[in-house]
Chains A and B, each alone.
Chain A
Amino acid sequence: MTTLDDDLRDEVASTPPDDEPDRPPSSVRGRGLLGLLTSTDHKVIGLMYIVTALLFFLLGGALATVVRIELYSPGTQVVEPGAYNQVFTMHGSVMIYLFITPVAFGLANYLVPLQIGAKEMAFPRLNALGYWLFLFGGLTMVAGFLTADGPAAFGWTAYAPLSEAIRSPAIGHDLWLFSIVLTGTGTITAAVNVIATVLAMRASGMSMFRMPIFSWNMLVTSVLVLIAFPVLTAASVMMLADRNLDAQIFNAEGGGQPILWQHFFWFFGHPEVYIVALPFFGIVTEVLAVFSSRPVFGYRGLVLATFAIASLSVGVWGHHMFTTGDAATGYFSGLSLLIAVPTGVKFFNWIGTMWGGRLRFPTPMLFTIGFLLLFVMGGVTGVVLALPALDFQLHDSYFVVAHFHYVMFGGSAFALYAGIYYWFPKATGRMLHEGWGRVHFVMTFVGFNTTFLVQHVLGAQGMPRRVADYLPEDGFTFLNRVSTVGALIMAASVFPLAWNVWRSLRRGEVAGDDPWEGQTLEWATTSPPPPHNFDALPPIRSNRPVWDQRHPTRKRARAVEAQAEEAAT
């Protein structure tokens, strides 16, 4: 592997690809199934990751709908408690392990080489291996549905000693643990690949501090993956040993220590929260800059904040364990509060990017504004939960469920939707339909808030999470009904998106190379990009080479203007 291809270096100097004529569509097309199965093209693998993860997202969403329908009223609606426990376990597991983590790496696979001006990922075959580990690992987990006793039912956190064979004997639990080992290994290979690609494959002129924020965030995310996922993978192997080889690692009766699982799990689990947040922060940053016609405000501060979040995130796992009595409340409370600071800094970077800009509001921008409004709510409730005295009441209640859905869905999933609308034209050559995009946004925004806002109240009042049922005299019925109605709206919101993708792939408006007036390198090539990514690269002299190319004469004037403004304030 060379750090930079010589021919690429030559291309850097050659003429920029101004109005290229329409290119033949995707490198995927015309290669058939065998082409897909054997591909090592980062774009093909990236799209396979994304499509597979989105299919798992549909499964996880269907399971969530079952959960909400069951909780519509006291008593059994659709599933008995045993099946309910399997459903919520698989909902959480599918969403975390098979959707939101892999989809981030799908985006990284597709975008990082394009954003840094590379022809490929550093290790194309390792990349393919990572995808296939993810796919078959995921299928292993959901194969639990095909077994006689059904899939795992110990929650997505698989707490010991409930997860020991004596308490959870079904084979679905072993499949779940094997799945974690397989998908975890896949994620680790993907992370290694992203790190190597970012460090070694950048085009000439693409210094680290000229990289787009999405690529920066994927680098930091990948480092976090290397810290967190081996711990989860190893812990899962230990649990498999406990279950099948009588190892007694997490079994108190055999001299083991059940709480150890919680430490291992959350040592993975809290960095994981940022593993599934940072990539999406990256998307939001890119979208805001482009649709504000501005550079990213406080770029260096933003990168530093990302490092700060990553560093702190490996020291906050104990805030998931305040009620266990086995986590130092002062230490973990302090660090958990502190991590709110760099996250807050990012908010100000984002608002600073919009402030004084020229804002357009196509669908990617709508979802990004939605992200800003919803993620901040998940942020402030996170600060509330970082205070141990309050966490004692709120832990394991629906307040926590509401909190992390505002983070994971209001935050990450909204940003993912923004990214899908934003990069769909790049990947397919066609625009998604704006009208259907707006319908999708409104339904998602309304449905999401209807589902989760009331859950804060349910939790504070005393409704525990992971309960198959509640009693009429609890007084939880009305708010649960509101929440279920919201969930049905959310479930329905998938249809405008699916229809939009279906129709736009066939007869969507042809996008051209750069439909959004993009700033970063992926907009300098054709849509979809050729197998080798770039026919020619524009000169890279800042963190937004495509913008510079579009505004060559104003560049100096802008710099002067910026300095004047800075002097004035």
Chain B
Amino acid sequence: MRRTIPARLGRPGLVVVLGAGLAGCGMPDPVTEQGESVRTLWNPTIVAAIAVGAFVWALALWSVVRYRKRNETLPTQVAEHIPIEIVYTVVPILIVAGLFVVGAATTTKVEEKAEDPDVVVDVEGFQWSWQFTYIEEDVLVSGDGSGTDGPELVLPVGQTTRLNLISDDVAHSFWVPEFLTKRDLIPGIDNEIDVTPTETGTYRGRCAEYCGLDHWRMYFSVRIVTAEEFEAWVAENAGGDPVSAEADAPEEGEGSG
């Protein structure tokens, strides 16, 4: 009776780990070319991770069930087994070597920079909002830190945009979950990423690096539009006053914390 308790715990536990694995496939659908590369790496990696985890669970739980104490006979006192030890050292090395190669390939692809990006935007983070400066188009979008909508970053679909990530106060991080990537904005470090959106739509972006009091609501939004809509938007806003999406949006009561 007592001996079977760990075994009983194990079965729901196995379901839990499988469930975790399946649910873990829960990255959002990517909306950029770079994000699609990440997704292509994520799926097999998470399956491999679950497989390794399940293998260890199976070995551990099998031992628990199979080798529970049944009588007073002393078990054999095997203290080592060199061939097995070599196998269980070499096989993991091969697995991580494989992962390293695919991982490095994807990282290179995600970090690839276009020689001549179609649009260049300076993305500046500050406590606690964002400012987007379209250099050639002469458009400035700025948030004022009120509310929970944040300023809007407008990007043309199918074109490559270079984002220069800048901060002058503290460290922030530019994260649009649907891009499946993020990058930090750190005083003294110049970061840049390229994004090539593949689908139109509006997505929420957020600061991912803890940056003080209102870090939690340092939001922005990304609106991906067709090339024509982008040109129209640029024409409408070029050279004029800073565009502030927040000025129009209704503020939410809880946003003043």
Contact = CB atoms under 8 A, between A and B. Distances in A.
B250 interface: no
Given A258-B188, A354-B60, A354-B64, 12 more contacts: A161-B187, A162-B211, A299-B79, A323-B208, A340-B96, A352-B84, A380-B49, A388-B107, A438-B5, A453-B20, A460-B26, A469-B254
Contacts of A438: 5
Interface stretch (A8-16, A343-351, A489-497): A343-351
B20 A377 contact: yes
Given A359-B67, A377-B20, A466-B215, A558 B77 contact: yes
Contacts of B52: 376, 380, 383
Contacts of B84: 348, 352, 569
B76 A562 contact: yes
Interface stretch (A107-115, A140-148, A289-297): A289-297
A380 B95 CA distance: 12
Contacts of A201: none
A299 B175 CA distance: 46
B114 interface: no
Interface of B: 2-3, 5-6, 9-10, 13, 16-17, 19-20, 23-24, 26-28, 37-38, 41-42, 45-46, 49-50, 52-53, 56-57, 59-61, 63-64, 67-70, 73-81, 83-85, 88-89, 92-93, 96-97, 99-100, 103-104, 106-107, 109-111, 127, 148, 168-171, 173, 175, 177-178, 180-184, 186-191, 204, 206-217, 254, 257
A258 B92 contact: no
A554 B76 CA distance: 11
5 contacts: A159-B210, A301-B85, A324-B191, A361-B5, A376-B52
Contacts of A356: 67, 75-76, 78
Interface string A514-527: 00000000000000
A558 to B, nearest CB: 4
B89 A167 contact: no
A80 B59 contact: no
A482 B30 CA distance: 27
Contacts of A116: none
B177 A358 contact: no
B213 A85 contact: yes
Interface stretch (A59-67, A223-231, A390-398): A390-398
Interface of A: 74-76, 80-82, 85, 153-155, 159, 161-162, 167-168, 252-253, 257-259, 292-301, 323-326, 329-330, 333-334, 337-338, 340-341, 344-345, 347-348, 351-352, 354-361, 365-366, 369, 372-373, 376-377, 380-381, 383-384, 386-390, 392-393, 395-397, 438, 442, 445, 449, 453-454, 456-457, 460-462, 464-471, 474, 551, 554, 558-559, 561-562, 565-566, 569
Given A295-B79, A397-B208, A467-B215, A159 B13 contact: no
A474 B169 CA distance: 28
Contacts of B216: 81, 466-470
B173 to A, nearest CB: 6
Contact of B57 (A373, A449, A565): A373
Given A161-B171, A569-B81, A361 B6 contact: yes
A387 B74 contact: no
B38 to A, nearest CB: 5
Contacts of A161: 169-171, 187
Given A340-B92, A387-B106, A389-B107, A325 B191 contact: yes
B79 A297 contact: yes
Contacts of A361: 2-3, 5-6, 64, 68
Given A324-B184, A324-B189, A82 B103 contact: no
A366 B6 contact: yes
B75 A294 contact: yes
Given A354-B64, A395-B182, A337 B100 contact: yes
B38 A390 contact: yes
B106 A389 contact: yes
With most chain A CB atoms within 10 A of its CB, the pick from B46, B78, B213 is B78
Contact of B103 (A345, A387, A460): A387
A377 B57 CA distance: 10
A528 B97 CA distance: 49
Contact of A323 (B20, B88, B106, B183): B183
Given A372-B60, A390-B38, A337 B110 contact: no
A82 B182 contact: no
A253 B50 CA distance: 47
A566 B81 contact: yes
A118 B214 CA distance: 55
A341 B67 CA distance: 26
Contacts of B190: 325
Contact of A81 (B106, B189, B204, B257): B257
Among A159, A365, A464, chain B packs the most CB atoms within 10 A around the CB of A464
Given A76-B257, A377-B53, A384 B107 contact: no
A330 B52 CA distance: 23
Contact of A341 (B24, B78, B89): B89
Contacts of A381: 49
Contacts of A340: 92, 96
A517 to B, nearest CB: 11
Contacts of B73: 358
A338 B96 contact: yes
A387 B100 CA distance: 7
Contact of A258 (B10, B79, B97, B171): B171
Given A300-B80, A333-B107, A372-B56, A393 B5 contact: no
Contacts of B67: 292, 354-359
Contacts of A298: 79-81, 85
Contact of A369 (B64, B92, B254): B64
Contacts of B111: 329
A154 B213 CA distance: 9
